[in-house]
Amino acid sequence: SSLWASVVSKPEEKQVFSSQLQPQASFKVAVLGAAGGIGQPLGLLIKMSPLVSALHLYDIANVKGVAADLSHCNTPSQVLDFTGPSELANCLKGADVVVIPAGVPRKPGMTRDDLFNINAGIVKTLVEAVADNCPDAFIHIISNPVNSTIPIAAELLKQKGVYNPKKLFGVTTLDVVRANTFIAQKKELKLIDVDVPVIGGHAGITILPLLSKTRPMVTFSNEEVKELTVRIQNAGTEVVEAKAGAGSATLSMAYAAARFVESSLRALDGDRDVYECSFVQSELTELPFFASRVKLGQKGIEAFVSADLEGLSEYESKALEALKPELKASIEKGVAFVHKTA
Ligand code: NAI
């Protein structure tokens, strides 16, 4: 776990990477959309985990080569490929964690909501298969718009009678990774020490980094808070524009998603000190889903870090109120999608 800089609480436990590649546990991880821009580097990073014994890669095309390629890495997990709907069930059986980066990415000028119709349909197909084949797995959804795809998944799992809100996660780790990086740069802090909770949702102004809760304690001018907050919220667009038509964030996203997988596996393995931000069913606010720090355990979410929402700065309190209508609308759009197509 030393790969995931800000997850490591005790730097003295850092090890040389290669010495970690002894099997330490035997979890099965499935990646759906594994041949894509995120899926491929994510597969590679998960292949490097000593906690994984089986890595199942699913896509509608091009996944055979990805699996053959990854299978040559001399790390413990066995890599298997699954192509197309007829092989999806076998991919999922026995999975402990299912990660879903399937979908279409944003193109310049597209908002996350523009992706809605295509990705909602893809998520629907995949989550229904998860419900039928591994309903007890942790489900990590990367496919955007996360603010809607998580409510969609929840409704579908409810329809199948297998919804466990403690195990359904919208992956917002990239917002935390970006916040940590940008703040460390701005304040010249050691990256490994920096941890910033990011709450709310996962699009535009619904992304709310709580700079006042930055660890280690550091003070920001009002201008810095505004500049950093806006940069974190728009960081995806920085990448979309720089790639100029060749996709959205894939490498940093894969890094972030792999960190969330590793945290989930550590929790499943009995580690009692695992915290991550994620967009989940929540009672922290009046909204049914909300991103916040959660404590992960063997049964999924064990606790919500409600203290993060206490003693917010004036800027953060206002931003929190301002994001709620948009987040609420995105959640409702997801719920409506399921009931419209049911
Ligand atoms: P990509 O187009 O490179 O890859 C998507 C993959 O999904 C392709 O291999 C495609 O064949 C596969 N796919 C499409 N339909 C499928 C289906 N029905 N079943 C299985 N696989 C299917 O896209 P990229 O860049 O990897 O992005 C994927 C998703 O992740 C997009 O929705 C994007 O918006 C989202 N994303 C989320 C982020 C986050 O922070 N949560 C950050 C960046 C992107």
pLDDT in tens, 210-266: 999 999 999 999 999 999 999 999 999 999 999 998 888 999 999 999 999 999 999
CA angle (167, 302, 1) in 5-degree steps:
80
Given the CA of residue 121, which atom of ligand 1 is nearest to it? 18
Proportion of the chain above pLDDT 70, given as a percent: 93
Based on the number of CB atoms within 10 Å of its own CB, is 340 exposed (0-12), middle (13-18) or buried (19 or more)? exposed
Mean pLDDT of 149-154: 98
Q: Does the beta carbon of 50 sit less than 6 angstroms from any atom of ligand 1?
A: no
Mean pLDDT of 170-192: 97
Check residue 74 and give its pLDDT: 95
Q: How far is the CA of 14 from the centre of ligand 1 (A)?
A: 32
Q: Is 202 an active-site residue?
A: yes
Q: How far is the CA of 112 from the centre of ligand 1 (A)?
A: 12
What's the predicted TM-score (pTM) here?
0.94
Mean pLDDT of 278-306: 98
Check residue 16 and give its pLDDT: 44
Mean pLDDT of 309-327: 98
Q: Does the beta carbon of 36 sit less than 6 angstroms from any atom of ligand 1?
A: yes
Find tokens 């000593």 and name the residue. Answer: 50
CB 133 within 8 A of CB 142: no
Mean per-residue pLDDT of the chain: 93
Given the CA of residue 247, which atom of ligand 1 is nearest to it? 25
d(CA 263, CA 321): 30
Mutate which of 59, 116, 173 for ligand 1? The one with the most ligand atoms within 8 Å of its CB, which is 59
144: left (phi over 0), alpha (psi -120 to 50) or beta: beta
**Does ipTM exceed 0.95?**
yes
Check residue 21 and give its pLDDT: 64
Half-sphere exposure of 298 (CA within 13 A, CB side): 4
CB 323 within 8 A of CB 214: no
Check residue 312 and give its pLDDT: 97
Check residue 22 and give its pLDDT: 75
Check residue 9 and give its pLDDT: 43
User: Which positions ≥6 away from 243 have C-beta within 8 Å?
Assistant: none
**Residue 214 Cα distances to 47, 205, 293, angstroms:** 31, 19, 13
Check residue 113 and give its pLDDT: 67
Check residue 342 and give its pLDDT: 61
d(CA 38, CA 43): 9
User: Which positions ≥6 away from 271 have C-beta within 8 Å?
Assistant: none
d(CA 124, CA 184): 38
Which residue's CA is the closest to the ligand 1 atom numbered 31? 105
Mutate which of 144, 238, 239, 250 for ligand 1? The one with the most ligand atoms within 8 Å of its CB, which is 144
Q: How confident is the model at residue 115 (pLDDT cuts 50, 70, 90)?
A: confident
Check residue 18 and give its pLDDT: 46
Q: Which of 72, 140, 202, 339 is catalytic?
A: 202
**Residue 108 Cα distances to 105, 112, 259, angstroms:** 10, 11, 27
Check residue 320 and give its pLDDT: 98
d(CA 68, CA 313): 51
Q: In sequence order, what are the beta bridge partners of 198?
A: 209
Check residue 3 and give its pLDDT: 55
